Amino acid sequence: MSTHCQHCGNKLPWVVDAFCPSCSNRLDEPPSPVAPAGAAPAAGKSAGVGALLGLLMMLGGVLALFPGALSLVSGNWGDALYTGGVGVALIIGGAFWKGRSARR
């Protein structure tokens, strides 16, 4: 048994558990392979689809704001909150989804 953790390199105590006390990785598993320093993760088709879905959600949110604004002008507060709230939620969700897919 090694005296150092193969994941983080810290020295192990005399009484060794199945996990490293520093990094909490299993001591019986080899470390995962490390990607080269200059290599970026490959962006597949899912990143483009996620960004497109985010844009479509934001477009649907903007379109849902129009009936909400018309209901608000006519004084129908219930419909204005219902459709406007859905529009705002779609815009926020679409922006979040597009941002998450762009970072992948």
In a shared domain, residues 55 and 89: yes
Both structure tokens of 25: 């990785």
Compute the distance between CA of residue 32 and CA of residue 10 in angstroms, rounded to an integer: 17
Could you tell me what percent of the chain has a pLDDT over 90?
A: 14
Of how many residues is the chain composed? 104
Residue 6 lies in a domain: yes
**Res 59: pLDDT:** 93
Q: Is 4 helix (H, G, I), strand (E, B) or coil?
A: strand
In a shared domain, residues 22 and 52: no
Does pLDDT of 44 surpass 60?
no
Both structure tokens of 104: 């992948």
**Res 104: pLDDT:** 58
In a shared domain, residues 14 and 58: no
Does pLDDT of 92 surpass 80?
yes
- Its domain, for residue 99, covers 45-103
Q: pTM (2 decimals)?
A: 0.51
Tell me what the pLDDT averaged over the chain comes to: 80
Compute the distance between CA of residue 4 and CA of residue 51 in angstroms, rounded to an integer: 44
Both structure tokens of 29: 């598993």
Residue 19 lies in a domain: yes
Phi-psi label, residue 69: left if phi above 0, alpha if psi -120 to 50, beta otherwise: alpha
In a shared domain, residues 54 and 94: yes
In a shared domain, residues 50 and 25: no
Does pLDDT of 64 surpass 80?
yes
pLDDT in tens, 2-31: 788 887 888 888 876 788 888 888 888 777
Both structure tokens of 30: 């080899």
For residues 46-70, give the mean pLDDT. 86
